[in-house]
């Protein structure tokens, strides 16, 4: 704590070179990357632009495919419940057990949708701490495998109580995925690369929606035509669960904990891969819990802006994710048609996420560009509310446009990777963001009340209002980051300011490091 206090006290007049020796002496409390450079023994390695591009290609081809597919399954596993709901899961009990579902009634389905997020929120902060202190790749793989096992067990559920338990523990083990992916992104890619990479792996939610819809439709039609000894909704859970388990083991084989134990990089390339991200001013990981960083996270206006955005933005997400199949049925389509007609929404999400992620990195205005997706989603929901019930195609087109809404959520998720430094602070802010995400998703399904069917107008108006508030929060975040960058530029321009050698690896927070520049 002595080192941390001296850094903070020195900041207003610039970090002094006089404390440099003490900082290096206490490098065990610095970022893990410091150890890699200390072991160089005077060896000089040059990171040329060509070598940097070669490393980037290698990192992209090894990490992005598995991260994308697993994140898509993360979404698919949550939304499997929506497909199952119109494939027999909700049917009342009858004499024929194979057609009985699990006898859901009243608002029990809404609570099944919310229960996942109770498990998620209960374990979110503990799991982010475990992501910090345990090997990142191995702990992530463990969670993937266990959530696949739990999802498969849903096929054995016979009543509401069992379904509630499964959904709760599914949330517990999926809680590590999004904060883990944010850490992987900040660990392996530069700030200028993080927005597009986050957009790509998050866009696999859309691919999962396409794949899941086609899978559920194929199972439903096949079972109807050929018959089956297992209920169709159980087959959906088995297929998605077993696929997740298999990919969990593949993830364990491919994804390292950090650059220093990466088996597909040479010893020299591991050092250069760390050097690539020096400009991030964040390092690759620090296992020491720092109370001052926790306090800073809880008193930083930016942290709370992230939290409230996630909470408000995910009220719509929680409702639409669990009710999109039933929403499409309310437009006048059959349950089987709803499975198939929901898939173009995934394509809309993919296009908007990839395009906004690329444009945000290309033009440097990640937050403002992400607003285009939310504005498009508001337009879509207005179409659903305003068009008459008999305008099936128009209302369905409105639903497709609502799938552009995740652009802003993903932009802020990438900003946790880019704009929050200090490993304890980063994991804390990630936990706050995802706790807000959970609370919003718990509230969301409750806005779709059975008595409001088939139009669900109160829920739809709630969604429009929430997205409007989110636009205001995004504007605040952009302006706040601009203001902070100007303050830091003034500190660096002061005559007495002196930059410390290897400052990037000292696990400084974004607020205490004058060299840190917020991405917009």
| Residue 5: CB atoms within 10 Å | 10
Q: What stretches of 378-515 adopt beta strand conformation (E)? A: none
264 belongs to a structural domain? no
pLDDT of residue 168: 94
Give the total number of structural domains in the chain. 1
Residue 20 pLDDT level (bands cut at 50, 70, 90): very low
| Residue 368: CB atoms within 10 Å | 16
Do residues 441 and 117 touch, judged by C-beta distance below 8 A? Answer: yes
197 belongs to a structural domain? yes
Longest CA pairwise span in the chain (Å): 84
Q: For the chain, what's the residue count? A: 520
206 belongs to a structural domain? yes
Helix (H) or strand (E) holding 20: helix 20-25
Q: How far apart are CA 408 and CA 147, in angstroms?
A: 27
* CA dist 386 → 263, 371, 389 (Å): 56, 22, 9
| Residue 363: CB atoms within 10 Å | 11
Domain ranges, residue 105:
57-259+291-505
pLDDT tens readout for residues 67-107: 999 999 988 877 777 777 767 776 543 433 434 567 777 67
45 belongs to a structural domain? no
Global confidence as pTM? 0.80
Mean pLDDT for 2-13 is: 38
26 Cβ contact partners less than 8 Å away, ≥ 6 residues apart: 2, 3
Do residues 399 and 347 touch, judged by C-beta distance below 8 A? Answer: no
Across 79-93, 148-162, 278-292, 488-502, the highest mean pLDDT is recorded for: 148-162
Count Cβ atoms within 10 A of the Cβ of residue 255 and give its class: 0-12 exposed, 13-18 middle, 19 or more buried. Answer: buried
Mean pLDDT for 195-222 is: 87
Q: How far apart are CA 356 and CA 91, in angstroms?
A: 41
Count Cβ atoms within 10 A of the Cβ of residue 42 and give its class: 0-12 exposed, 13-18 middle, 19 or more buried. Answer: exposed
Residue whose entry in the numeric block shows the structure tokens 């409230």: 308
Does position 187 have pLDDT exceeding 80, yes or no?
yes
Residue whose entry in the numeric block shows the structure tokens 């390092």: 283
pLDDT tens readout for residues 283-303: 666 677 888 999 999 999 999
Does position 400 have pLDDT exceeding 50, yes or no?
yes
279 Cβ contact partners less than 8 Å away, ≥ 6 residues apart: 190, 191, 504
* CA dist 162 → 30, 166, 169, 307, 449 (Å): 46, 6, 11, 32, 23
| Residue 163: CB atoms within 10 Å | 22
pLDDT of residue 359: 92
Mean pLDDT for 505-517 is: 84
Q: What is the DSSP letter of 494?
A: S
Does position 10 have pLDDT exceeding 50, yes or no?
no
Do residues 31 and 423 touch, judged by C-beta distance below 8 A? Answer: yes
**Arithmetic mean of pLDDT over the chain:** 83
Name which of 8-17, 137-146, 384-393, 493-502 the model is least confident about. 8-17
Does position 8 have pLDDT exceeding 70, yes or no?
no
3-state secondary structure of 150: helix
Q: Which of 353, 53, 62, 314 is nearest to 196 (CA)?
A: 353
| Residue 250: CB atoms within 10 Å | 16
Does position 6 have pLDDT exceeding 60, yes or no?
no
- 343-361 in b/e form (b: 16+ CB < 10 A) is bbbbebbbebbbbbbebbb
**CATH at residue 215:** 1.20.1250.20
pLDDT tens readout for residues 60-73: 999 999 999 999 99
pLDDT of residue 185: 92
Does position 497 have pLDDT exceeding 90, yes or no?
no
80 belongs to a structural domain? yes
pLDDT tens readout for residues 35-47: 655 655 555 567 8
pLDDT tens readout for residues 107-124: 787 788 778 889 989 999
* CA dist 388 → 333, 384, 392 (Å): 15, 8, 8
Do residues 184 and 139 touch, judged by C-beta distance below 8 A? Answer: no
Name which of 30-44, 334-348, 454-468 the model is least confident about. 30-44
355 belongs to a structural domain? yes
32 belongs to a structural domain? no
Residue whose entry in the numeric block shows the structure tokens 């992400």: 370
Q: Which of 357, 296, 271, 327 is nearest to 32 (CA)?
A: 271
pLDDT of residue 108: 81
Residue 475 token pair: 């504007």
128 belongs to a structural domain? yes
More confident of the two residues 22 and 244 = 244
Does position 158 have pLDDT exceeding 90, yes or no?
no
């Amino acid at each position: 704590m002595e080192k941390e206090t001296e850094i903070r006290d020195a900041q207003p007049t610039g970090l002094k070179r006089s404390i440099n020796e003490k900082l290096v002496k206490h490098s065990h409390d610095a970022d893990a990357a410091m150890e890699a450079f200390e072991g160089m023994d005077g060896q000089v390695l040059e990171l040329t632009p060509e070598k940097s591009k070669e490393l980037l290609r290698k990192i992209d081809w090894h990490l992005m495919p598995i991260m994308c597919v697993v994140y898509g399954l993360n979404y698919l596993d949550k939304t499997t419940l929506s497909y199952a709901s119109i494939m027999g899961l909700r049917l009342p009990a009858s004499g024929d057990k194979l057609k009985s579902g699990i006898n859901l009634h009243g608002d029990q389905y809404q609570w099944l949708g919310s229960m996942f997020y109770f498990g998620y929120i209960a374990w979110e902060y503990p799991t982010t701490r475990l992501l910090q202190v345990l090997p990142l790749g191995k702990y992530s793989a463990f969670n993937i495998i266990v959530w696949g096992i739990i999802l498969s067990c849903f096929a054995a559920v016979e009543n509401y109580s069992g379904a509630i338990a499964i959904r709760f523990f599914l949330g517990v083990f999926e809680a590590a995925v999004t904060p883990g992916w944010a850490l992987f992104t900040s660990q392996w890619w530069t700030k200028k690369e993080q927005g597009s990479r986050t957009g790509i792996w998050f866009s696999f939610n859309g691919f999962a929606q396409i794949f899941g819809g086609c899978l559920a439709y194929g199972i439903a039609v096949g079972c109807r035509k050929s018959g089956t000894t297992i209920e169709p909704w159980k087959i959906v859970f088995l297929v998605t669960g077993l696929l997740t388990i298999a990919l969990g083991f593949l993830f364990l084989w491919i994804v390292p904990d950090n650059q220093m134990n990466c088996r597909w990089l040479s010893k020299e390339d591991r050092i250069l891969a760390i050097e690539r991200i020096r400009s991030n001013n964040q390092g690759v990981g620090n296992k020491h819990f720092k109370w001052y960083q926790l306090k800073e996270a809880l008193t930083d206006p930016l942290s709370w802006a992230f939290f409230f955005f996630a909470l408000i933005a995910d009220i719509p997400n929680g409702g639409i994710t669990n009710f999109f199949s039933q929403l499409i049925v309310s437009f006048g389509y059959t349950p089987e048609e709803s499975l198939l007609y929901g898939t173009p929404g995934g394509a809309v999400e993919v296009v908007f996420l990839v395009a906004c992620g690329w444009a945000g990195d290309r033009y440097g205005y990640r937050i403002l560009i992400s607003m285009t997706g939310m504005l498009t989603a508001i337009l879509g929901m207005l179409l659903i509310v305003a068009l008459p019930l008999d305008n099936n195609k128009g209302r369905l087109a409105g639903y497709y446009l609502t799938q552009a809404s995740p652009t802003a959520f993903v932009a802020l998720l990438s900003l946790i990777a880019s704009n929050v430094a200090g490993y304890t602070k980063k994991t804390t802010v990630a936990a706050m963001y995802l706790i807000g995400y959970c609370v919003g998703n718990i509230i969301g399904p409750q806005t779709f009340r059975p008595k409001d069917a088939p139009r669900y107008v109160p829920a739809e108006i709630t969604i429009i209002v929430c997205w409007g508030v989110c636009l205001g929060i995004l504007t605040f975040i952009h302006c706040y980051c601009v203001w902070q960058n100007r303050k830091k530029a003034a500190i660096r321009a002061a005559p007495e300011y002196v930059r410390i050698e290897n400052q990037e690896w000292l696990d400084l927070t974004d607020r205490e490091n004058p060299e840190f520049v917020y991405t917009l």
